[in-house]
Amino acid sequence: MTAYEMSAFEMNVDGLVGPTHNYGGLSYGNVASQSNCQAVSSPKEAAKQGLAKMKALMDMGFKQGVLAPQERPDVATLRSLGFTGSDAQVIQKAAKGAMPLLVASSSASSMWTANSCTVSPSADTADGRVHFTAANLNCKFHRSIEHPTTSRVLQAMFASEKHFAHHPALPAVSQFGDEGAANHTRFCKGYGDAGVEFFVYGRSAFDSRYPAPQRYPARQTLEASHAVARLHGLGKAGVVFAQQNPEVIDQGVFHNDVIAVGNGEVLLYHQDAFLGTDKVLAELGEKLARRGGNFQAICVPASAVSVQDAVRSYLFNSQLLTRTDGSMLLVVPEECKSNASVWRYLEQLTASGGPIREVRVFDLKQSMQNGGGPACLRLRVALNEQELAAVNPGVLMSDALHDTLVAWVDKHYRDRLSEADLADPQLLTECRTALDELTQILKLGSVYPFQIA
């Protein structure tokens, strides 16, 4: 490893679960989300489970950041849909006349930070800055309202114009449906080296020759992936576009990160993940080789792990991380250990002598029941030393920040939350009080609508 490589890092930015975490069953195509619809949630437990994972990774030596949750319920959205009166009256009218809209406007889905944006490190971009494009998440109403606040929070975290460039979300139409880093992976020899950015799409919006799923929607379009690559100034030598297998989308694989995970020079993927797999792997290998890397693809055969077991366990919605000794660690949810075929495969994988040497299991039940595993909860941001020094220090995890955030959660979050509780106007007051304090803890300034108005 060269001195330059040692001076570059991958920071995991995890979404802090918001006070309105609930099981609204809002995500059609996400089996876990739909199957747990209207169950009683625990916002307090959910936030603490996420914080425990953040601290554990920090303790292992990984760079760890925190992304603040959003203001919910989103009263401005409800007003735009015709509900009038005071904030309390808007909530009560929505609860009485259009409860699904109140549920959608109360979702804590911004916790899944992998969907917040797409990030390209400075080693890949034409202007030598780290580029962020907020995802429009146009496929789901409850997520499509996130990107304005997401952009403000990201700009407060990565504020230096010398080091960081921020792009607004793509046009909010289905032809440019963009789901962020959940369909984006970067391969590289070292985090400071030029890499190959891998964009996976579910359909083409304008070319009918591409196949498409028949049961569930393909959320990411080829056109959106091309647009993000252009905005980030990525050259053809450093990008690969691949289509997700429509048949697995129809089995509940709503994002690529539910069927494949990559890091460094390694891609762990299910054999049914892509169309034209051999061609895709060859292009990744050739382009990474030109940048000094040695691409390693690990295929998980369907005979070992079915698509159904992959979706149930979220095997591929795991975090693949590189330790300081160069070995790789796979962070998985407990559901992987309780699935016999998945756990058998993981034991064989770590014993095989390959790059993935260890598996760490975390309890993320609150997130998993809503359809999000370890990889959903985090955004990967590769930074060199100068860029890391330019990050807002208030969002960088430490022992002190962890303890402060746990105490903050204990102070502000409810133990239980049902759909009926969303009709309580006091929940909005609780959320705003908590977030106002959080912006001071994380040193974000005014990023929420209630602070800006």
Query: Would you call 76 exposed, middle or buried from its count of C-beta atoms within 10 A (0-12, 13-18, 19+)?
Result: middle
* DSSP letter string, 65-134: EEE----SS-HHHHHHTT--SSHHHHHHHHHHH-HHHHHHHT--GGG-GGGTEEEE-TTTBTTSSEEEEE
| Residue tagged active-site, from 117, 188, 376, 431 | 376
138 is in an annotated binding site: no
Contact 220, 254 (CB under 8 A): no
107 is in an annotated binding site: no
28 is in an annotated binding site: yes
Instruction: Confirm whether 179 is a catalytic residue.
Output: yes
12 is in an annotated binding site: no
Close Cβ partners of 332 (under 8 Å, ≥ 6 residues apart) = 313, 314, 315, 318, 346, 359, 360, 361, 362, 373, 374
| Residue tagged active-site, from 179, 197, 335, 419 | 179
35 is in an annotated binding site: no
C-alpha distances in Å from residue 40, one per residue of 45, 52, 424: 12, 22, 15
C-alpha distances in Å from residue 195, one per residue of 24, 205, 237: 39, 27, 9
257 is in an annotated binding site: yes
H-run or E-run covering 260? strand 260-263
258 is in an annotated binding site: no
61 is in an annotated binding site: no
| Residue tagged active-site, from 255, 270, 402, 412 | 255
Rounded CA-CA distance 46/49 in Å is 5
C-alpha distances in Å from residue 20, one per residue of 102, 203, 418, 430: 12, 33, 10, 10
30 is in an annotated binding site: yes
26 is in an annotated binding site: yes
29 is in an annotated binding site: yes
320 is in an annotated binding site: no
State the amino acid at position 216 in one-letter form: Y
142 is in an annotated binding site: yes
191 is in an annotated binding site: no
- Binding-site sequence positions for substrate: 24-33, 115, 142-143, 219, 257, 370
Catalytic residues: 179, 255, 376
